[in-house]
Amino acid sequence: MKEDKILIIKFGGLGDVVLSLDAMYSIKKNFNKSKLILLTEKPYDDILRKSGWFDKIVLIKRSLFYFLDIFQIKKKIDVTSLSKVFDLQTSKRSSSYLRIFAKSGVYTNGIGKFATICHSNPNRNFLHTSDRQKEQLKLSKINIKENAKLNWLYPRIKNNKTRFALIVPGGSLKRKYKRIPLEVYSNIIEFLLAKKIKPVLIGSVDDQQICQTLKKKFLTLDNLCNKTDFFKIAELSKQAIISVGNDTGPMHLISRGNNPTIVFFTKFSDSKLCAPLGKNVSIVKYSCNNLVFGKTVIEQIQRLIINQ
């Protein structure tokens, strides 16, 4: 009897991958007797391999030219061995991949002319990622189970004696306009230190200059910029009494830890489309007035930590 194999396609940024965890988990639960294969790229194999949801993870390096991606896919995946393909990326690029599966008669769920089941809602681009994926998978009679089991990512943490807050002041250099001015973070850090809460900076190599600037001003904070992997960030999110940061990938990871989290959005990104998920997430829109905005944020932090 032929082994049932299902392929999930997911690329994008860290935030986009985290927003898709519920969809991936739901596909896994719906086809729990099938072999599940993930098509993605580095570094997401590290985090998703630990989930235990996938029997195989296939990595490609996306090229400027789609046909080179397809060449890699055909080389690494036996297209004819698949029964179903779920494209959770639903970009122009990933939709072009569906052609090779459709030509072999494989059931495909995605968008575009090569999707057997096409999510054709004209308003799909105006939906939050999670809502869009709910609609898409429902077409294949898959109901997304919210709050996927993420114990593999977020360990149980004993009470931490050190009261600290995670601060994520940076973001991708390609989208610097999503960053809130450092003046606001300075005010937040001053408030936290006055409350005897240690600020802990999180960021990637793109954020080193920002974090070093804050460290020079506040010598007692901890600067973990470019020193944490996905799992360490997730662990810290469960220990922190509060986390504050820009609309960037690590904040999506932190928010799913379900401790109080405040995420800042500028006018250049829309929380209605991509707000982080979690049980204790607050979205604050940057007003361009640093004084007023900073005061609003500090008042919100005060309310969230009052009983901690």
In a shared domain, residues 212 and 295: yes
Q: What is the pTM assigned to this prediction?
A: 0.94
23 in any annotated domain? yes
Exposed/middle/buried for 254, CB within 10 Å: 0-12, 13-18, 19+? buried
The confidence band for 159, taking pLDDT boundaries of 50, 70 and 90, is low
**118 pLDDT higher than 60:** yes
* Predicted pLDDT at 4: 93
* Predicted pLDDT at 2: 66
In a shared domain, residues 134 and 260: no
pLDDT exceeding 70 applies to what percent of the chain? 97
In a shared domain, residues 10 and 116: yes
Q: Where among 103, 138, 173 does a domain terminate?
A: 138
Q: Say if CB 242 and CB 262 are below 8 A apart.
A: yes
* Predicted pLDDT at 190: 97
Residue 127: give the domain boundaries: 5-138
Tally of domains in the chain: 2
Alpha-carbon gap, residue 308 to 306, rounded angstroms: 6
pLDDT exceeding 90 applies to what percent of the chain? 89
Mean pLDDT value across the chain? 94
SS (H, E, C) the chain: CCCCEEEEECCCCHHHHHHCHHHHHHHHHHCCCCEEEEEECCCHHHHHHCCCCCCEEEECCCCCCHHHHHHHHHHHCCHHHCCEEEECCCCHHHHHHHHHHHCCCCEEEECCCCCCEECCCCCHHHCCHHHHHHHHHHCCCCCCCCCCCCCCCCCCCCCCCCCEEEEECCCCHHHHHHCCCHHHHHHHHHHHHHCCCEEEECCCHHHHHHHHHHHHHCCCCEECCCCCCHHHHHHHHHHCCEEEEECCHHHHHHHCCCCCEEEEECCCCCHHHHCCCCCCEEEEECCCCHHHHHHHHHHHHHHHHCCC
Q: Where among 104, 138, 172 does a domain terminate?
A: 138
The confidence band for 288, taking pLDDT boundaries of 50, 70 and 90, is confident
**1 pLDDT higher than 60:** no
Q: How many CB atoms lie within 10 A of CB 75?
A: 8
126 in any annotated domain? yes
In a shared domain, residues 39 and 101: yes
73: CATH = 3.40.50.2000
- Read off the pLDDT of residues 235-264 as tens digits, 9 standing for 90 and up: 999 999 999 999 999 999 999 999 999 999
Alpha-carbon gap, residue 285 to 130, rounded angstroms: 21
144 in any annotated domain? no
**307 pLDDT higher than 70:** no
In a shared domain, residues 116 and 214: no
114 in any annotated domain? yes
In a shared domain, residues 176 and 67: no
In a shared domain, residues 257 and 171: yes
In a shared domain, residues 111 and 200: no
Nearest residue to 166 via CA among 13, 269, 305:
305
- Read off the pLDDT of residues 177-208 as tens digits, 9 standing for 90 and up: 899 999 999 999 999 999 999 999 999 999 99
Alpha-carbon gap, residue 291 to 302, rounded angstroms: 17
282 in any annotated domain? yes
Q: Where among 121, 138, 155 does a domain terminate?
A: 138
204 in any annotated domain? yes
In a shared domain, residues 101 and 176: no
Average pLDDT (283-298) is 91
In a shared domain, residues 128 and 228: no
* Predicted pLDDT at 61: 94
148 in any annotated domain? no
* Predicted pLDDT at 308: 66
In a shared domain, residues 277 and 182: yes
Which amino acid is located at 80 in the chain?
T
Average pLDDT (39-51) is 95
In a shared domain, residues 113 and 177: no
* Predicted pLDDT at 173: 85
**304 pLDDT higher than 70:** yes
36 in any annotated domain? yes
* Predicted pLDDT at 287: 84
